Amino acid sequence: MHTIFELQQLIETAIKKIEYPAIPSKLYEPISYIMRLGGKRIRPVLLLLSSELFNTDANEAIEAALAIETFHNFTLIHDDIMDNAPLRRGQDTVHIKWGVNNAILSGDVMMVEANKHLTNLDNSILKNALHCFNMTAQGVCEGQQLDMEFEQRTDVSIVEYINMIRLKTAVLVGGAMKLGAIVGGASDEDAEHLYDFGENFGIAFQLQDDILDVYGDPVKFGKQVGGDIISNKQTFLLLKLKELVKDSDLVLLESQYSNIDYPAKIESITNLYNQYKIRDLAVNEMKRSLDIAFTALEKVNIEAVRKNELIQLAESLIDREN
């Protein structure tokens, strides 16, 4: 088995080796651009790790990993258009650099590129892998749709929110792990267990994101702490606070939504989070998802020692500070 670091290198090298057509250059340059912006490569690494659980060399799963990473980056291009986001990993987003129409079309052709990677898989697993990929891609689109709709609503429940982040974020983690298992030659049961691990781990990962936005170390976080608070983003923390807040605290909270003194707004809402112990509640919810994830992983019918690398990666991602 490879180490996490080796798997990351494997992915980076494979991405650098991809040769997109030279023309039309404006169609393909944005693909190289976003694919090489970096990032943690969490999904493809998890996919490769998943394949290696079943005594398969990660190199055999590299096309599946590229499919998942390409699809993920395609969704980033289109999401950034929809969210009107100027920056991605500190750089101009594709629609800022090449215009919205180009960003739509480069995203479209990336979806084709993702499918081309998948089509390189062995015939014996192709249908199974495609089915997994299609279900995953569909879920991600549904999640983005719900995310957009929730921005227009003030009555989103915690259950709806968890379902949204499940679709938008966690389904892709689950799908990546299942795809790795399929390529690795896992039984259908083990592939499903790894899907369950990935999906629930993905929910925990996103909840940790919500927590870090408020409670992250400003030096290590890499983004502005309180960014979600400034934009009134309906995270688990805000939705939980809205569920619990009462009387004068409710009046205070509602008065803050339109506060343009951002340091004061962050301080005021963070105080409310502290007062209502929202951080503990979010950590509990995160741990609940993690427990489900690790229970699913336990069920995977392989030597326990082979799971260590995956467990370590998962724990380090949850304990991350950015």
Instruction: Tell me how far, at minimum, the Cβ of 243 lies from a second copy, in Å.
Output: 23
Work out the widest C-alpha separation in the chain, in whole angstroms. Answer: 64
Task: Decide: 279 and 215 in contact? Cβ < 8 Å.
Answer: yes
Q: Considering the complex, state which of residue 81 and residue 170 has its C-beta at the smaller distance from a second copy.
A: 81
Q: Considering the complex, state which of residue 96 and residue 292 has its C-beta at the smaller distance from a second copy.
A: 96
Return contacts of 147-153, CB within 8 angstroms, 24+ apart: 148/82, 150/234, 151/234
Q: Considering the complex, state which of residue 26 and residue 89 has its C-beta at the smaller distance from a second copy.
A: 26
Instruction: Tell me how far, at minimum, the Cβ of 225 lies from a second copy, in Å.
Output: 28
CA–CA separation, 285 and 210 (whole Å): 12
Task: Decide: 11 and 48 in contact? Cβ < 8 Å.
Answer: yes
Q: Considering the complex, state which of residue 32 and residue 259 has its C-beta at the smaller distance from a second copy.
A: 32
CA–CA separation, 233 and 244 (whole Å): 17
Instruction: Tell me how far, at minimum, the Cβ of 142 lies from a second copy, in Å.
Output: 6
Q: Considering the complex, state which of residue 149 and residue 298 has its C-beta at the smaller distance from a second copy.
A: 149
CA–CA separation, 156 and 159 (whole Å): 8
Residues in contact with 289: Cβ distance below 8 Å, sequence separation at least 6, in sequence order: 200, 201, 203, 204, 207
Residue 294 is encoded by which pair of tokens? 């690790």
Q: Considering the complex, state which of residue 109 and residue 158 has its C-beta at the smaller distance from a second copy.
A: 109
- Contact residues toward a second copy (CB under 8 A) are 21, 24, 26-27, 78, 81-82, 101-102, 104-105, 107-109, 111-113, 115-116, 118-119, 123, 126-127, 130-131, 134, 137-138, 141-142, 144-146, 148-149
Q: In a 3-state reduction of DSSP, which class is residue 18?
A: coil
Task: Decide: 171 and 202 in contact? Cβ < 8 Å.
Answer: yes
CA–CA separation, 132 and 292 (whole Å): 21
| Beta strand segments in 28-100, E | 87-88, 91-92
Instruction: Tell me how far, at minimum, the Cβ of 254 lies from a second copy, in Å.
Output: 27
Amino acid present at 116 = K
Q: Considering the complex, state which of residue 147 and residue 213 has its C-beta at the smaller distance from a second copy.
A: 147
Instruction: Tell me how far, at minimum, the Cβ of 183 lies from a second copy, in Å.
Output: 15
Instruction: Tell me how far, at minimum, the Cβ of 241 lies from a second copy, in Å.
Output: 26
Instruction: Tell me how far, at minimum, the Cβ of 131 lies from a second copy, in Å.
Output: 6
